[in-house]
Structure 1
Amino acid sequence: MTCNTISLRDIRSFHVGGATVELTGQTCKDVRVSPDAALRTVDLNGHYVSGQLYAQHFMLDRPRSDVPILFWHGGAMTGVTWETTPDDRPGWSQIFLRHGHDVVVSDAVERGRASWSPYPQIYDSAPLFRTAEDAWYLFRMGAAKDFAQRRPFAGLRFPIAQFDQLCAQFVPRWTTNAQATIAAYMQLVARFERVIIVAHSQGGWFAQCLAARMPEHIAAVVLLEPAGAPNLKPEEMARSAQVPHLYVWGDNCDGHPAWNSYKNDATAHSESLRVLGGTVETLDLPRRGIVGNSHMPMMDDNSDEIASMILAWLARTRG
């Protein structure tokens, strides 16, 4: 990988999307907002902004591309996915900046700095929380029975000694805010003339939706193990086929109850795009002799190599 110095002309952060919601009939509460403070009454009736996402835009002093990279995280995660790896190596936000792309790292609706909304008054349920056991199994670190001993799959490329650092990133999530998230992502994309979306897991589902809705704004999408694919109408599929797609898959997907289904759905989606004349490529790492990658390729010990392959695909695809 290149070691170009990152020279920035600006860093901006902002929220996009969302709407104001008024709540009435809430009970006032007497609270002590810090341990030694006096009690004060908090009136929970009033207006709340809900449905926004948070983004941080890193702008290079001399970018080599006029198309920024938008990094979208997966379920129960935030934009931290793309920052420094759990074992303290440069994350993909740095790598892609060093290769000349402006970068936008976001926290989706309900995640991280995007904030929550009251539930069940605005969100219709309590959040889900991800356990370490769930991540071990779903992210394919090892067999479920081997979690207690932290015994990974043979040849695993994730830095397993820092698995708890990965788990420290997890945040609450809801399962009923997809439409608000799509709306916020659309507003984010609309801020730019053209973008490249690099999306992980659940974020890949959203990226496939956006390719169908805003192809004129999207130069390419890179889908790192997308959690399935959206059910699109024929006219939506035709629009999506205008956008080049790269699908990236790691090891141990075959035979995994969840990932068999997710991968099959995404593969069927990609084949439909190809039939429609779309530019579609699949980077199935184990089939290319690159074994041991987990569900977190941007954190695995060969993350630089995978980033290089993605950058090479972008260069070929975009001329």
Structure 2
Amino acid sequence: YTVFHASVTGSSWKTAIGNAYVLTGEAQDVTRTTVLLPGEVLSGLGTVTERGVVFSIDPLPVLKGSDTTADDTTDDTTTDDTTDDTTTDDTVTTTDETAPIIGTENTKDLFYITELVTLSIFTDEDAYCKYDTVDEDYSQMRYTLSDAAGTGHSVALGSFAKGNYTYYIRCMDEEGNSNSSGTMVEFEVTEAAVEDTTPPTIISDDNNGQTYKTGEDVTLGVTTNETANCMYNENEDMNYGNMTSSFSLTDGTRHTKWFGDSTAFSTNEYTLFVRCEDSSQNESNSRKISFVITPVIISNGDFLSGTLSVTTDVDANCGYN
């Protein structure tokens, strides 16, 4: 601070530096425009003045207004009733010390050898990203995934031979925080899928041309050359999707339907149409299956000594009335 001695030599003020003449205390009531500074006048200095403002050297100082350095009888003390409009900045500045979070859901886990392999990730904040076949520090990784800060990052790696591949990714945000370990991305490259356009074939059946006696078990059975599902319809051929009767055992190459004993059938000739469909929805040609239900033939019936006996042409259960 600088204070001025009251006596004047010529037109110049005498200047005293430091606490040679005034010993000051701690500043009080500090605002943007004023401060109250307690002090003690030491020996060797008279009245302390400064143009425009008079400082009272007192343990409890009072701010006064003045237009001159001369002492006058007018008390032009100005009371500062101005409201303290000091603005306090309550903004809390935080430092980002967190590395970006990496998401890899955008990269497929399966590619065909005919496809272009693209490595695609995203981050939860603007960042720069690198990748490599080994997990190393961000600065040591050889390949750049994104050279501009952003949240979406992708690079076309090209076509790959059949096999399994692993890459590691690390990112660094604009504050210089980088991942301490790499995020692993794995994918497989395989042969291109061949579209199946060949329908299944019903290569055999168990029933066509068969004759069943009333009471015999009847089981419908067909075999296909590949895994398929099969349906059948009685008396009328139609598309697979319109058939309503299913086999009990299917979704393989062997398909069966047990009807029970043939007493469920009337004595007659029966015709069924069978169609099958594979997992690619290729539909087979229909297979026509016909079989006959005939009654049991009874012969050699006699009643001897109170015992009724008959002979049938097939094993059968018989009753009488």
TM-score category, normalised to shorter length: under 0.3
Name whichever structure is richer in helix by fraction: 1
TM-score by structure 2 length? Answer: 0.16
Which structure would you say has the larger RCO, counting Cα contacts within 8 Å and 6 or more residues apart?
Answer: 1
* Structure (1 or 2) with the larger CA radius of gyration: 2
TM-score by structure 1 length? Answer: 0.16
Name whichever structure is richer in strand by fraction: 2
